[in-house]
Homo-oligomer: A and B are copies of this chain.
Amino acid sequence: MAIQTKTQTKSPTQLGKIKTSIRQQIQSGMMSGGQKLPSERELSTLFETTRITIKDALVALETEGLIYREERRGWYVSPQRICYNPLSRSHFHQMIRDQHRIAETRLLNTRTEMAAGEYAAALNIRQLTPIHIIERLRYIDGRAVLFVENCLMTNLFPGILEENLTLSLTGLFAEKYGYQTQRSRFDVIPTAAPGHVAKALNLAEGQSVLKICRVNYKQDGTLMDCEFEYWRPDAVMIRIDSSAE
């Protein structure tokens, strides 16, 4: 059965008609994941309306998670969401492979600075402490969907910036330093992409992302590192399955 918005008592708006029309094209399978939509100008000719109205319709479908945009490149049909369990110890590449998709990670940059602001708060640091910050971008089937910032206390991770940082950091922590994640806490927050994140993900400034802040503790219970993930919101769903403790 096709999902459909509730039958309207009022005649549907122009906006509603455009949304329904494009939605049906996608859900009927005529367009599939990654395919490019006609340009806003073409659509405004097709639907005999202005670009503003077309854009309002596209933004609504984007909010649904049905389509997404690459800044100044165009609108595309969203592939299926990745199912992500932040509690699982499975690595990113493994998780994506398990879902028959192709993962890739690129290192954007690393830097070392004194913890401040959001970083200091997440790491629960009260005095000036040097931290390493590692910025990476993750791709699924060639599309940039996840920007990740890792913050590591320098004293716990000597020489880590010389390692291959496109692989799993959790794996590196275990192999090089013998650290296991014993406990982790994470927050999920729907918000807007900060400037540098928007740029990396090809989002326009102010577009929506799903932010996940995570703090990891190692086997002796002390705080190990924290991580800020910014997901394209149409690319992911979070799934947690837990027995009662």
What is A's interface to B at a CB cutoff of 8 Å?
A: 1, 3, 5-6, 16, 19, 52, 60, 63-65, 81, 86-87, 89, 116-118, 180-192, 194-196, 205-208, 210, 233-234, 237-244
Contacts and interface: CB of A to CB of B under 8 A. Distances in A.
B63 A185 contact: no
Given A65-B189, A192-B63, A242 B183 contact: yes
B63 A191 contact: yes
22 contacts: A5-B195, A6-B195, A52-B52, A60-B205, A63-B191, A63-B208, A65-B189, A65-B190, A81-B189, A182-B243, A182-B244, A183-B242, A183-B244, A184-B241, A185-B239, A186-B240, A187-B238, A188-B188, A188-B238, A189-B237, A208-B208, A240-B240
Contacts of A65: 189-192
One complex includes copies of this chain to the number of 2
A195 B188 CA distance: 25
Given A3-B117, A64-B192, A206-B63, A187 B242 contact: no
Nearest to A204: B60
Contacts of A238: 187-189
A117 B1 contact: yes
B240 A190 contact: no
Contacts of A191: 63-65
Nearest to A194: B5
A49 to B, nearest CB: 15
Contacts of A210: 190
A60 B233 contact: no
B207 A63 contact: yes
Contact of A206 (B19, B87, B233, B234): B19
A194 to B, nearest CB: 7
A240 B188 CA distance: 9
B63 A187 contact: no
Nearest to A84: B188
